[in-house]
Amino acid sequence: MNFTGIISLLFACIEFLLLFNLLVFVKKDRLSIIALIMITLLAGYQTMEFLMCQTGLQSSFYPYFAFIIISFLPPLNLILTLSLTHNFNLTLKSWLIFLPAVLFSIYYSFVISEFAVTSCTVLYAAYNYPLGDLYGFFYYLPILISIVFLIVFIKKHQEKKKKIIGRILLFGNIFISLPVLLGFTLMLFNNYSIISSIESIMCKFAFVYALCLTIICLYNSPFNEERNYLRLFSGFK
């Protein structure tokens, strides 16, 4: 029996379940709305990866579409971070954060034929796509900036609730960065096995980030005080 992509299906099902519960139960402020959009994109990507690996969708459009989905995750993550750390308001200029993702989406639409799923495993998929190094730079940069902002915020901010949210976000950002650190370390030894599938592996690690976003949404909702949700974090300072 072929189990390629089965982990993607598992994560997609759990993320859609998380999304449904959050849509019903949490307060719909800016922080939660951005988190809900990110979980939706993560679930959408996992679904696409399962369909490509398990059902054999061979058209170049499908990996292209999967890349468009994940291209908007780092800028959304940065917007989420700025909303917490700088009381960030969305303005016309703020949409420039999405400019790299938009430009890559437009450019890639002209070279869709160069996209391909080169291999699938139970856990992840590997892709061929143009401008990989440039894409990777603009993909990881918002995550790195988010980590810096969160570290500074946690050190300086005094409000307990926001510090807890900042700590959870920081953990999630560092966790999804682990495959990148490992990939670049292996590159020093001429091993490119992880780099060739880094986006897929990061999205698997981002399942933990989806759980972090879920915790933040619950912690940020009014009924948190009534039902004593997340008492686990009450010891954070």
pLDDT tens digits for 128-152?
A: 888 888 888 899 999 999 999 999 9
How many percent of the chain have pLDDT more than 70?
Answer: 88
pTM above 0.95, yes or no: no
Residue 232 pLDDT? 44
Residue 169 pLDDT? 94
Characterize 116-144 residue by residue with b for buried, 16 or more Cβ atoms within 10 angstroms of its Cβ, and e for exposed: bbeebeeebbbbebeeeeebbebbbebbe
Mean pLDDT of 163-170: 93
- As given in the structure block, the two tokens for residue 8 are 């993607």
pLDDT tens digits for 24-46?
A: 888 888 888 999 999 999 999 99
What domains can be seen in the chain, in order of their start residue?
A: 6-235 (1.20.1070)
Residue 39 pLDDT? 95
pLDDT tier at 90, thresholds 50, 70, 90:
low
pLDDT tens digits for 45-72?
A: 999 999 888 887 778 899 999 999 999 9
Whole-number mean pLDDT of the chain? 84
Residue 117 pLDDT more than 80? Answer: yes
Q: Using the structure block, give the residue that is written with the tokens 């940020």.
A: 220
Say which amino acid occupies 86. H
Residue 204 pLDDT? 85
Mean pLDDT of 68-97: 85
Helices (H), the chain: 6-25, 30-54, 61-71, 73-85, 99-110, 132-156, 160-187, 198-219, 223-227
96, 97, 204: which is closest to 142 by C-alpha?
Answer: 97
DSSP 138-149: HHHHHHHHHHHH
Residue 1 pLDDT? 58
**Cβ neighbours of residue 209 closer than 8 Å, sequence gap 6 or more:** 42, 172, 173, 175, 176
Residue 92 pLDDT? 60
pLDDT tens digits for 179-214?
A: 888 877 877 777 666 776 777 788 888 999 999 999
Residue 107 pLDDT more than 50? Answer: yes
Residue 59 pLDDT? 86
